Chain A
Amino acid sequence: MARTAAATTNRKPIVEPQVPDFDRLIHERTRLSIVSALAVNPTLSFNELKAILKTTDGNVSVHTRKLEEANYLVCRKSFEGRMPRTEYSLTAAGRRALEKYLGHMEALIKATRKGSE
Chain B
Amino acid sequence: MPDQPLPIHEHALESLRIIRETMDRAGSFTSIPGWGGFLIGFTAIAACALAQRAVSDPQAWLRVWLIEAGVAAAIAAVTMTRKWRRTETPFMSSVARRFFVSYFAPLIAGAALTFTLVHRGSFDPLPAVWLLLYGTAFVSSGAFSIRVIPLMGICFMLLGVLAALVRLPVGNLVLGAGFGGLHIIFGFIIARRYGG
Contact = CB atoms under 8 A, between A and B. Distances in A.
Interface of A: 16-17, 19, 27, 29, 32-33, 36-45, 47-48, 51-54, 98, 101-102, 105-106, 108-109, 111-113
Contacts of A29: 18
B167 to A, nearest CB: 46
A102 B25 CA distance: 18
A54 B94 contact: no
Interface of B: 7-9, 12-13, 15-16, 18-19, 22-23, 25-27, 88-90, 93-95
A98 to B, nearest CB: 8
B12 A44 contact: no
A41 B41 CA distance: 33
A52 B26 contact: yes
The binding surface of chain A is classed by DSSP as helix
Contacts of B90: 47-48, 51-52
Nearest to B8: A19
Contacts of B18: 29, 32-33, 36
B15 A48 contact: no
A98 B23 CA distance: 12
Nearest to A51: B90
B20 to A, nearest CB: 8
Contact of A51 (B9, B15, B89, B94): B89
Nearest to A54: B88
**8 closest Cβ contacts across the A-B interface?**
A112-B9, A37-B26, A40-B27, A36-B22, A105-B12, A108-B12, A33-B22, A51-B90
A59 to B, nearest CB: 14
A41 B95 CA distance: 8
Nearest to B96: A48
A36 B18 CA distance: 8
B142 to A, nearest CB: 16
A44 B94 contact: yes
Nearest to B27: A40
Given A27-B15, A41-B94, A102-B16, A108 B22 contact: no
